[in-house]
């Protein structure tokens, strides 16, 4: 069942289903390699719970919660 | 040595590109700026026995869209300067993402050599990369490298030579398939472009078609000027876009990116990588568990900042002392050689003292930047902005804004000059300018001196509390003004925080040295030119017009008179001498005060007093504010001159404090009106010069007049409301 990236918990794994952002944000997300089919794991959140850090494709990516809203994912189990 | 090759070195951020560039060019690297923007342009030379190459280091980018200045620059260098080869450095530990940029270079058509960097780390992780296979499938040379150790640099250049020999300057753009939805449209558009010869002198037709589908702002803007075909292309894109949105619920741009990654994946899956490393925790993640921990993270962050601050201003004070002593010696020597007069006064007070005060900061800037570059190259700065982003976003700023604030005096004693220069780490223009404009509100070292003097005078009982309150106030004002600017002059969406937390890597000494020296050198050049001019101007303002002869004569008469009178004083010779010296210096002080009041600066102070009276500034503060534009340290020395103490040593401010405390003009509203004005009113001239350098004249002027207006407004409110209440 697809959910938004924001609702993922720490240490949870998932796969990107869709990136619904267009323009600058969408381009930035895609340039970093967060495209449909990408496997990732939430590795941490900043001390104030936002931004969130993801482990994917051999590196760590951060983005804000309101940016994570544009990303639909399927959580693993 | 027939041909000089022109080679561009490119790569994604943190891939070790600059390390390799430094290894290739050695000490020949020199840094300039791309015309009109603050993106660094580093160039250098590489020579082997067979050939020489001129290298340019492109700014690190993830992609070649026109999203950021760096990307535009990287693309323009390729398109306009037509390098013979692009060396594309890749972080082999995240190969998939790294190849994304390589694919885009190949689409433009420029010959590419891939440098697979960090192969040592790859091996350590137990991943195997078949670079021959990769080279075969991509159709470009691939060289395994370890940039930090210089491994692979000569092989890279050998490949460059081979590629140049083979291609003979001919570009062959790679066309990858974008699927059945887009490929027909791209072909159609390519044909249209070819037929109309639409910008084909600059771009490859196929590439141009793809850029139109990506709705690349710069290409489209150039296109609309180039000819009527632009409108047709835009229409075509709109049709496809509508279709794709209806059928696939996505955008052409996203489809293009998906196919590029698909292309990369299809290559990697043909046995290039032996084992996936996707979600494996590595050493950096373990460090992050501590360094970005909920409680420990912020604690460590503040300690690191405090340590940087401490090292800069305590260790830095030693070489700063040497520089200042050097200028002091120079000033004494010149004072001894030259006869009294205007020339001497100008050289000593204007040129040497003015430039010397600025050059004194050089060691501080050097140390501060060396540490900053270290922390940045280490990967820690990305963590800091990750941690504070939530707070700064509330004020319309970016997580990266914290460093400039700290450097500028967020911990009192900093300096806005390196602070503003630190803003280079901010990539988004609006948030960067908002930070540049507000960082000078912080309590820098020079303001600290002035506050210590004033607080010591008015609140001797609660000095620490008041100082602490002032620091909080400066943060509050900076953040609120940041918010205000982002609502008004710098309105706009906040920049996405989509960024990489790079793995921790110990930076090379060579890299740190190059980056640090470059910034310091630019600062020194500034001190030698703009600042020299302004400090001579300030000197002239406080010196001319000189007192008329008859008034000087009056003081001379007083002197003769007192010497004459002293003969009839009672007491021992020694007592008489002390009394006489005191009386004589009193006359000199009076003369100094009269000269200051008579000078243009003094007249200016008189002229503006109707305005400044609204904010309640005493005339001494008026003139001190004018002088303090040159450097905030001048506030204390001008106040002491104006209070006829003559002792211009800011360290010896106690007697000045007493004198000011005794002055009835300083009521509580006046004190706070002056406090706030001093905090905000204008950055000092060095900072303004740096702001202009980092942005442009327009923002420099805005910074001066904007903060002047804002500071004055606040002071008026404080004084008027305060006076009503008291």
Chain B interface includes A29 (CB < 8 A)? yes
In this prediction, residues B254-260 reach a mean pLDDT of 93
Q: pLDDT of B126-147, one tens digit each?
A: 888 999 999 999 999 999 999 9
Average pLDDT, chain B: 87
Cβ neighbours of A63 in B, within 8 Å: 496-499
Does the beta-carbon distance from B501 to A22 stay under 8 Å?
no
Chain B interface includes A5 (CB < 8 A)? no
H or E element in which residue B677 lies: helix B668-680
> Over 70: is that where the pLDDT of B652 sits?
no
Q: pLDDT of B391-444, one tens digit each?
A: 999 999 998 898 899 888 888 878 888 889 888 777 778 899 999 999 999 998
Cβ neighbours of B501 in A, within 8 Å: 53, 59-62
Which of these ranges, B254-268, B448-462, B702-716, has the smallest mean pLDDT? B448-462
- Picking from B90, B93, B118, B92, the residue whose alpha carbon sits closest to that of residue B105 is B90
Which of these ranges, B87-91, B150-154, B372-376, B518-522, has the smallest mean pLDDT? B518-522
Reported confidence tier of residue B277, pLDDT bands at 50, 70, 90: low
Give the residue with greater pLDDT, B219 vs B659.
Answer: B219
CB environment B141-170: b (16+ within 10 A), e (fewer): bbbbbbbbebbbbeebbebbbebbeeeeee
Chain B interface includes A2 (CB < 8 A)? no
Q: Edge-to-edge, what's the strand order for the sheet holding A52-56? A: A3-4, A71-75, A13-19, A39-45, A52-56, A59-63, B499-501
CB environment B659-698: b (16+ within 10 A), e (fewer): ebeeeeebeebbbbbbbbbbbbbbbbbbbbbbbbbbbeee
- In this structure, how many other beta carbons lie within 10 angstroms of the beta carbon of residue A19? 24
In this prediction, residues B501-515 reach a mean pLDDT of 87
In this prediction, residues B453-466 reach a mean pLDDT of 89
Site of tokens 């409301």: B721
- In this structure, how many other beta carbons lie within 10 angstroms of the beta carbon of residue B480? 14
Listed ranges B152-161, B332-341, B603-612; the one with the highest mean pLDDT: B152-161
> Over 50: is that where the pLDDT of B650 sits?
no
> Over 90: is that where the pLDDT of B158 sits?
yes
Among A51, A67, A71, most B C-beta atoms within 10 A, so best to mutate, is A51
In chain A, residues 6-25 whose CB comes closer than 8 Å to chain B: 13, 18-19, 22, 24-25
Percent of chain B scoring above 70 in pLDDT: 97
> Over 50: is that where the pLDDT of B182 sits?
yes
A37, A48, A53 member nearest B391 (Cβ): A48
Cβ neighbours of A71 in B, within 8 Å: none
Which of these ranges, A37-41, B82-86, B437-441, B505-509, has the smallest mean pLDDT? B505-509
pLDDT at B651: 44
Does the beta-carbon distance from A26 to B288 stay under 8 Å?
no
Q: pLDDT of B34-60, one tens digit each?
A: 766 667 788 999 998 889 999 999 988
CA distance A8 to chain B (A): 16
Does the beta-carbon distance from B289 to A44 stay under 8 Å?
yes
In this prediction, residues B715-719 reach a mean pLDDT of 96
Does the beta-carbon distance from A60 to B285 stay under 8 Å?
yes
DSSP B299-363: HHHHHHHHHHHHIIIIITHHHHHHHHHHHHHHHHHHHHHSPSSHHHHIIIIIIIHHHHHHHTTHH
* Residue B395 CA: distances (Å) to CA of B141, B398, B630: 48, 9, 30
- In this structure, how many other beta carbons lie within 10 angstroms of the beta carbon of residue B232? 14
> Over 90: is that where the pLDDT of B477 sits?
yes
CA distance A6 to chain B (A): 14
Chain B interface includes A75 (CB < 8 A)? no
Does the beta-carbon distance from B390 to A49 stay under 8 Å?
yes
CA distance B636 to chain A (A): 42
- Picking from B496, B286, B310, the residue whose alpha carbon sits closest to that of residue B399 is B496
Reported confidence tier of residue B276, pLDDT bands at 50, 70, 90: low
Does the beta-carbon distance from B387 to A56 stay under 8 Å?
no
> Over 60: is that where the pLDDT of B645 sits?
no
pLDDT at B647: 44
Reported confidence tier of residue B2, pLDDT bands at 50, 70, 90: low
Distance from C-alpha of B55 to C-alpha of B483, rounded to nearest angstrom: 42
Listed ranges B160-174, B337-351, B529-543, B655-669; the one with the highest mean pLDDT: B160-174
Which of these ranges, B223-237, B300-314, B468-482, has the smallest mean pLDDT? B300-314
* CB-CB contact of B500 with B671 (8 Å): no
pLDDT at B38: 66
CB pairs under 8 A between A and B: 141
Residues facing residue B54 across a β-bridge:
B6, B45
Q: pLDDT of A50-61, one tens digit each?
A: 899 999 888 899
* β A52-56/A39-45 pair status: antiparallel
Distance from C-alpha of B593 to C-alpha of B645, rounded to nearest angstrom: 9
Nearest CA in chain A to B390: A50
């Amino acid at each position: 069942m697809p959910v938004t990236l924001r609702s993922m918990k720490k240490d949870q794994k998932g796969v990107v289903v869709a990136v619904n952002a267009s323009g600058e944000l969408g381009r930035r997300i895609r340039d970093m390699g967060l495209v449909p089919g990408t496997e990732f794991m939430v590795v941490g959140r900043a001390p104030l719970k936002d931004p969130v850090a993801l482990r994917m494709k051999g590196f760590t990516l951060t983005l804000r919660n309101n940016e994570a809203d544009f990303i639909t994912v399927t959580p693993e189990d | 040595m027939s041909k000089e090759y022109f080679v561009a070195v490119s790569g994604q951020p943190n891939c070790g590109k600059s390390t390799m560039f430094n290894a290739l060019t050695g000490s020949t690297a020199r840094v300039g700026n791309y015309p009109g923007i603050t993106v660094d342009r580093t160039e250098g030379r590489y020579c082997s026995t067979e050939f020489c190459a001129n290298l340019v280091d492109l700014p690190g980018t993830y992609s070649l869209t026109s999203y950021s200045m760096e990307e535009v620059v990287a693309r323009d260098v390729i398109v306009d300067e037509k390098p013979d080869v692009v060396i594309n450095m890749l972080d082999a530990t995240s190969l998939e993402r790294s190849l994304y940029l390589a694919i885009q270079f190949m689409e433009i058509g420029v010959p590419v050599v891939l440098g697979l960097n960090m192969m040592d780390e790859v091996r350590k992780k137990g991943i195997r990369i078949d670079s021959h296979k990769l080279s075969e499938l991509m159709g470009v040379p691939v060289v395994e490298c370890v940039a930090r150790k210089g491994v692979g640099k000569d092989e890279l250049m050998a490949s460059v030579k081979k590629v140049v020999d083979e291609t003979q300057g001919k570009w062959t753009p790679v066309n990858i398939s974008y699927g059945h939805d887009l490929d027909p449209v791209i072909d159609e558009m390519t044909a249209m472009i070819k037929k109309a010869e639409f910008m084909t002198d600059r771009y490859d037709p196929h590439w141009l078609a793809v850029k139109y589908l990506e709705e690349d702002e710069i290409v489209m803007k150039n296109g609309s000027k180039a000819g009527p075909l632009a409108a047709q292309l835009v229409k075509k894109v709109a049709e496809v876009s509508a279709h794709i949105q209806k059928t696939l619920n996505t955008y052409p741009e996203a489809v293009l990116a998906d196919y590029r990654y698909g292309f990369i994946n299809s290559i990697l899956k043909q046995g290039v990588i032996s084992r996936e490393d996707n979600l494996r925790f590595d050493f950096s993640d373990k460090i992050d568990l501590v360094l970005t921990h909920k409680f420990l993270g912020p604690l460590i962050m503040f300690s690191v900042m405090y340590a940087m601050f401490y090292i800069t201003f305590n260790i830095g004070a030693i070489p700063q002392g040497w520089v200042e002593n050097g200028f002091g010696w120079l000033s004494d020597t010149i004072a001894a050689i030259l006869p009294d007069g205007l020339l001497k006064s100008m050289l000593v007070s204007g040129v040497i003292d003015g430039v010397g005060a600025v050059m004194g900061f050089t060691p501080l800037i050097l140390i501060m930047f060396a540490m900053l570059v270290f922390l940045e190259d280490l990967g820690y700065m990305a963590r800091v902005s990750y941690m504070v982003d939530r707070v700064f976003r509330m004020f319309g700023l970016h997580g990266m804004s914290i460093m400039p604030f700290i450097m500028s005096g967020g911990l009192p004693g900093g300096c806005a000059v390196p602070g503003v220069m630190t803003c280079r780490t901010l990539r988004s223009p609006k948030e960067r300018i908002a930070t540049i404009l507000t960082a000078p509100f912080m309590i820098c070292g020079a303001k600290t001196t002035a506050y210590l003097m004033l607080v010591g005078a008015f609140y001797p009982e609660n000095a620490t509390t008041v100082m602490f309150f002032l620091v909080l106030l400066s943060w509050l004002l900076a953040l609120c003004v940041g918010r205000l600017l982002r609502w008004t002059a710098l309105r706009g969406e906040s920049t996405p925080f989509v960024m990489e937390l790079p793995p921790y890597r110990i930076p090379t000494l060579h890299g740190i040295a190059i980056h640090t020296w470059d910034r310091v050198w630019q600062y020194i050049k500034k001190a030698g030119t703009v600042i020299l001019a302004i400090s001579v101007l300030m000197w002239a303002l406080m010196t001319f017009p000189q007192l008329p002869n008859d008034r000087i004569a009056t003081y001379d008469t007083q002197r003769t008179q007192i010497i004459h009178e002293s003969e009839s004083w009672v007491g021992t010779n020694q007592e008489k001498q002390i009394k006489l010296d005191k009386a004589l210096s009193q006359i000199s002080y009076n003369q100094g005060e009269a000269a200051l009041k008579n000078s243009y600066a003094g007249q200016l102070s008189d002229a503006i007093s109707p305005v400044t009276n609204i904010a309640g500034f005493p005339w001494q503060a008026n003139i001190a504010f004018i002088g303090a534009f040159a450097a905030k340290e001048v506030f204390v020395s001008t106040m002491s001159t104006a209070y006829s103490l003559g002792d211009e040593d800011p360290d010896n401010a106690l007697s000045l404090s007493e004198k000011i405390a005794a002055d009835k003009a300083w009521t509580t509203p006046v004190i706070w009106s002056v406090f706030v004005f001093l905090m905000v009113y204008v950055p000092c001239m060095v900072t303004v010069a740096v702001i202009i350098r980092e942005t442009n004249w327009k923002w420099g002027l805005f910074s001066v007049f904007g903060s002047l207006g804002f500071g004055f407004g606040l002071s008026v409110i404080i004084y008027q409301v305060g006076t009503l209440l008291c």
